[in-house]
Structure 1
């Protein structure tokens, strides 16, 4: 008879890694550098049926060390160092965080090597674009003459997004959706192989996909902020389940 610790209870939920921030933080009696993440990411993965695991921006991230993951979320956060896409920093571009950049570029490379499903959120979509040779607008308000994408500090804006017919994203969300966003940078030259599948009314790229990959979708918005709508995270978790099933059949 199996012990309580090994008793079968059905298929395990997919393990979804989520990248995190390395920030000076205060909690309890402590004020120190800490690995942190908005709880909404974890709740979104849980609502979609996955088990969330936090991945610190420290460590040896490569295919051999992340093979236990079933999927990956590249979370939002600080601006990517502009030298990574061949530009000098704009006056509004944030202080570089090379440790996080290095960790997440390595995680993305490992995920692609392993054919892991990837959902890239806000900064995550920008990182995906840069990793594939694309560039960024370092201050979007200069391109679109509005602040709709980042109306105020610590406040999300809302944008109506049009999604391309026949795209994977349209199959998940439909042809139009209102999203929550908070970003001052956006995609300029699109990375090699990426397909733009959604735009805002002002032309800002709102979503990309990587055709040929099992599941790689980038969104400029913050779907984790709407826990009531877990469709994107559910699609990620479903792709992670199918990948695991495929591996088990091999």
Structure 2
């Protein structure tokens, strides 16, 4: 049986390697490695024209929207907080279109950190633009406990409370349409959301690609295989 094809969104950033200094579509290697370890084949999806999203999703078995820059507050009707980072407008437009296409097609969807926030915003939710305690400093992940909500999609995959690798300073404020919280941090921050309906749709605020627990990604791959 062919492995499910899992699309993973990428950054678009200036980068340096060897003698080169060029704009690059890039992604931390933990993402494709996590997909591969969970039994899928990873395909990287650099920013593209939003109108291409439906065709791209039609060729995938599942979609992962990766972490990265803060979502531009204009997408949820807010003014930027001074601590909100610079926008990644090409990513915002492309990934919002991918989320829309995946939801319309009933494709399995996993949002990681920024990806969970974009999912919430796409469905009409808002974000807390700054909170403390969810990083260990610039470029350093912190591990903190996350407790799943019983009888949710996440609890079926990871029923126990666990320390997860975290790096974010924004989080869900008002939940988007059809979303329910399925995990919380000790300070009450919503750490995971899932969508009502038959499709497999999950967002996690932490970074499973920086840890060793495959279960969330295995859940996505299993849903992709079943589809």
TM interval, short-chain normalised: over 0.9
1:140, CA displacement in angstroms? 1.3
On the 8 A contact 1:78/1:97 being kept in 2, the answer is yes
**TM-score scaled by length of structure 2:** 0.97
CA distance in 1, matches of 2:60, 2:199: 15
Residue in structure 1 matched with residue 92 of structure 2 by the alignment: 101
1:46 and 2:22 equivalent?
A: no
Q: Give the corresponding residue for 2:72.
A: 81
Matches within 5 A, 1:88-167: 88-141=79-132, 147=133, 149-167=134-152
Please name the residue that 1:241 is paired with: 225
- Cα shift at 1:65: 3.5
1:24 aligns with 2:14: yes
- Show the counterpart of 1:246: none
TM-score w.r.t. structure 1 length?
A: 0.88
> Aligned with 2:216: secondary structure?
helix
- 1:157, CA displacement in angstroms? 0.7
Stretches of 4+ aligned residues off by more than 4 angstroms: none
1:68 maps to 2:52:
no
Q: Once the 2 structures are TM-superposed, how far is the Cα of residue 151 of structure 1 from its aligned partner?
A: 1.8
Where does the alignment leave 5 or more consecutive residues of structure 2 unmatched? none
SS in 1 for 2:146: strand
The Cα RMSD (Å) is: 0.9
- The answer to whether residue 215 in structure 2 is matched with residue 225 in structure 1 is no
Unmatched runs of 5 consecutive residues or more in structure 1: 1-10, 142-146, 244-250
Query: What is the CA distance between 1:62 and its match in structure 2?
Result: 2.7
> Retained in 1: the 8 A contact 2:57–2:63?
no
